[in-house]
Amino acid sequence: MITEHVRLDENNPDARLIERAGNIIKAGGLVAFPTETVYGLGGDALNAVSSEKIYAAKGRPSDNPLIVHIAEPEALSYITADVPECAKKLAAAYWPGPLTMIFKKSALVPKETTGGLDTVAVRMPDHRIALDFIRASGGYVAAPSANASGRPSPTTAAHVAEDMDGRIRMIIDGGDACIGLESTIVDVTERTPIILRPGFVTGEMLEKTLGYPVEVDRAILDKPAENLRPKAPGMKYRHYAPKGNLTIVEGPGERVVEEISRRTGQMLLAGETVGIIAVAETAGSYREGMVKDIGPLEDEEAIARRLYGLLREFDEAGVSVIYSEAFYTPRMGQAIMNRLLKAAGHQIVRLDNGGSPEAQ
């Protein structure tokens, strides 16, 4: 298949190109498109065959449900069986925006789209191109992140092309994703809303909007017990994985630099090629390895935005071993570390203030 590449201006997207993209979706084809979080791989959410094509293009297991993207909150009532009060409040506060909610689905949504579940994930993205494209597509676009299964989510159209060229009909380039991490997912089908995936919208923000506490799926926390099964099927896979073997080193600043430098030296001697992800404050302290500056520690939005791109750069450079500092920043730290820990297959070395490193 030949993939058509089109470039659109977010402030003034060409209406004819949007219409062409929408017609591809209506005819059962696939189009990758920009959103504020990451690029999505879109198909008609109400067409079972389109959803099957999405799984095939990504090489993704078909028990992993897709998010249905809508362009107006009113569209919710067609695809859900019930919209609880809390969801109305959250939609009013965060849509359009980086929040996905899980509802009981209506009969309109095929099981192929929801990975066989009776629930459906819905989100209204905060991106002009995405919204115009969803409207032109009939209003319901199923879209996972537009990466091949197991690779980091794409934050640029070039990342999408790396994984999807020749597999889908069109890639819409709308520039760099401004958040860079996937949306927060909240299950609103239970009595208390539960965060299934942390993101830009934090638990604190949700609690402030609702006026009562929300829960967090314990299986997604830092050190999940072995037998906990994440409620979002996708969270159980080792997503976001770079090709190099990634280890996170956490602890006081200078000790982290020392430990990563020591390990880097050893690995280089053993013939490995080593990449290092460091904050701006420490990046200059490393003497060896391919060092990538992810941004200043206080700029957590830059860290979130750059993470996946850096992991892809290491893939391209053929790095075999990667060390990353930890980024427990105040607001987005939970989301950033959730993705980084998954990329590392939970390999983390925790340094305390004195003794020897404690490997996990």
Distance between CA atoms of 1 and 166, rounded to whole angstroms?
5
Smallest distance, ligand TXA to C-beta of residue 199, A: 7
204 within 8 A of 194, measured Cβ to Cβ = no
x/- map, 272-301, ligand TXA, by CB under 6 A: ------------------------------
Smallest distance, ligand TXA to C-beta of residue 96, A: 11
Assign residue 34 a region: left if phi > 0, alpha if psi is -120 to 50, beta otherwise?
beta
Sort 158 into a burial class: Cβ within 10 Å, 0-12 / 13-18 / 19+.
middle
260 within 8 A of 92, measured Cβ to Cβ = no
80 binds, among Mg ion, ligand TXA, none (CB under 5 to 8 A by kind): none
Residue 64 is a binding residue for ligand TXA (CB under 6 A) = yes
Residue by residue, DSSP assigns 283-309 as HTT--SSEEEE---TT-HHHHHHHHHH
Smallest distance, ligand TXA to C-beta of residue 94, A: 12
Distance between CA atoms of 339 and 242, rounded to whole angstroms?
12
Interface pick for ligand TXA out of 185, 194, 277, 326 (rule CB under 6 A) = 185
x/- map, 143-162, Mg ion, by CB under 5 A: --x-----------------
Q: Which is nearer to Mg ion, 14 or 52 (CB)?
A: 52
- Residue least distant from Mg ion (Cβ): 145
Q: Which is nearer to Mg ion, 119 or 149 (CB)?
A: 149
Residue 184 is a binding residue for Mg ion (CB under 5 A) = no
State the number of binding residues for ligand TXA (CB under 6 A). Answer: 29
Q: What tokens appear for 180 in the block? A: 């860079």
Smallest distance, ligand TXA to C-beta of residue 181, A: 8
Distance between CA atoms of 313 and 242, rounded to whole angstroms?
9
Distance between CA atoms of 32 and 160, rounded to whole angstroms?
8
Q: Which is nearer to Mg ion, 119 or 145 (CB)?
A: 145
Smallest distance, ligand TXA to C-beta of residue 40, A: 3
Q: What tokens appear for 209 in the block? A: 């909007």
CA angle 336, 198, 292 (to 5 degrees): 10
Residue 114 is a binding residue for ligand TXA (CB under 6 A) = yes
Distance between CA atoms of 284 and 268, rounded to whole angstroms?
19
Distance between CA atoms of 18 and 34, rounded to whole angstroms?
12
CB atoms under 10 Å from CB of 229, counted, come to 10
Interface pick for ligand TXA out of 22, 234, 275, 289 (rule CB under 6 A) = 234
With contacts defined by CB under 5 A, name the span among 15-23, 139-147, 211-219, 246-254 that binds Mg ion.
139-147
DSSP 347: -
Q: Which is nearer to ligand TXA, 47 or 119 (CB)?
A: 119
Amino acid at 224: P
Which residue, 264, 267, 278, 273, is CA-closest to 310? 278
Residue 35 is a binding residue for Mg ion (CB under 5 A) = no
With contacts defined by CB under 5 A, name the span among 14-22, 141-149, 221-229, 303-311 that binds Mg ion.
141-149
137 binds, among Mg ion, ligand TXA, none (CB under 5 to 8 A by kind): none
Residues forming the site for ligand TXA (CB under 6 A): 35, 37-38, 40, 64-67, 100, 102, 114, 117, 119-121, 123, 125, 143-145, 182-183, 185, 196, 231-235
Residues forming the site for Mg ion (CB under 5 A): 145
